[in-house]
A and B are shown apart, each in its own frame.
Chain A
């Protein structure tokens, strides 16, 4: 069964460093998302991406965050200058035609900022 894949599965980084989390959505999907889950808290929406541009973003998604689809398969989340509070599990997700379809999530990337 097709799946959303994410790399790395776990990354430890020093505060202030830049991090890029990578995702390969399901191949024929058109909408892409990033969500995050701080340990012990709810899964939170960060950003949605469609037709090579941001569709929606939350208040969490400030100027230190950016997303990109550099080629036909990858979808990346960049955190420019990491803070301790960025430590979380980051989930990439994709869906087929529009948001009313099932949203498929990846296994997540654990980010630990020290």
Chain B
């Protein structure tokens, strides 16, 4: 059974700093890995999707990497802004068509 873990559970950094969020998964047989953002009481906004054959994806200040063999992914946020404050969720898509989510990292950017 796929298990997804995210560390840290919470992170506070001053505005302007670069930061890295971590995600690990137990079963490397995945189709893709997706990073989502969730604001309190809101839905899930897709940030980046990395196919199993890819190593990284970039969108603006965000860069996500994937090391499938070791079961790890990172989300790098450059030059953080207060608007980046949210919970970031990592999810892997397995061949059984199910997205398995981590518990998320709650990020607070301090102005």
Interface residues of A (CB under 8 A from B): 33, 35, 41-45, 48, 55-56, 58, 91, 93, 99-108, 110
Bound-state Cα–Cα, A106 to B102, Å:
19
- Are B46 and A104 in contact, CB atoms less than 8 angstroms apart? yes
- Are A106 and B43 in contact, CB atoms less than 8 angstroms apart? yes
Of the A-B pairs whose beta carbons lie under 8 Å apart in the complex, a sample of 8, sorted by A's number, is A45-B100, A48-B97, A48-B98, A56-B97, A103-B34, A105-B43, A106-B43, A110-B41
B29-58 contact mask (Cβ, 8 Å, vs A): 1 or 0 = 001101010000111111001010000000
Q: Which residue of chain B has its CB nearest to the CB of A108? A: B43
Interface residues of A, dominant DSSP = strand
- Are B42 and A35 in contact, CB atoms less than 8 angstroms apart? no
- Are A105 and B46 in contact, CB atoms less than 8 angstroms apart? yes
- Are B51 and A43 in contact, CB atoms less than 8 angstroms apart? no
Q: Which residue of chain A has its CB nearest to the CB of B32? A: A100
- Are B99 and A102 in contact, CB atoms less than 8 angstroms apart? no
Q: How many residues of B contact A (CB 8 A)?
A: 24
Question: Which residues of A are found within 8 Å of B91, using beta-carbon distances?
Answer: 43
Q: Which residue of chain B has its CB nearest to the CB of A6? A: B43
- Are A42 and B101 in contact, CB atoms less than 8 angstroms apart? yes
Q: Which 7 A-B pairs have the closest CB atoms?
A: A107-B43, A105-B44, A43-B101, A45-B98, A56-B97, A102-B49, A108-B43
Shortest CB distance B30–A (Å): 10
- Are B98 and A91 in contact, CB atoms less than 8 angstroms apart? no
- Are A55 and B34 in contact, CB atoms less than 8 angstroms apart? no
Extra pairs beyond A35-B99, A91-B44 (17, CB < 8 Å): A42-B102, A42-B104, A43-B89, A43-B99, A45-B98, A48-B98, A91-B43, A99-B93, A100-B31, A100-B51, A100-B93, A102-B49, A105-B43, A105-B45, A107-B42, A107-B43, A108-B42
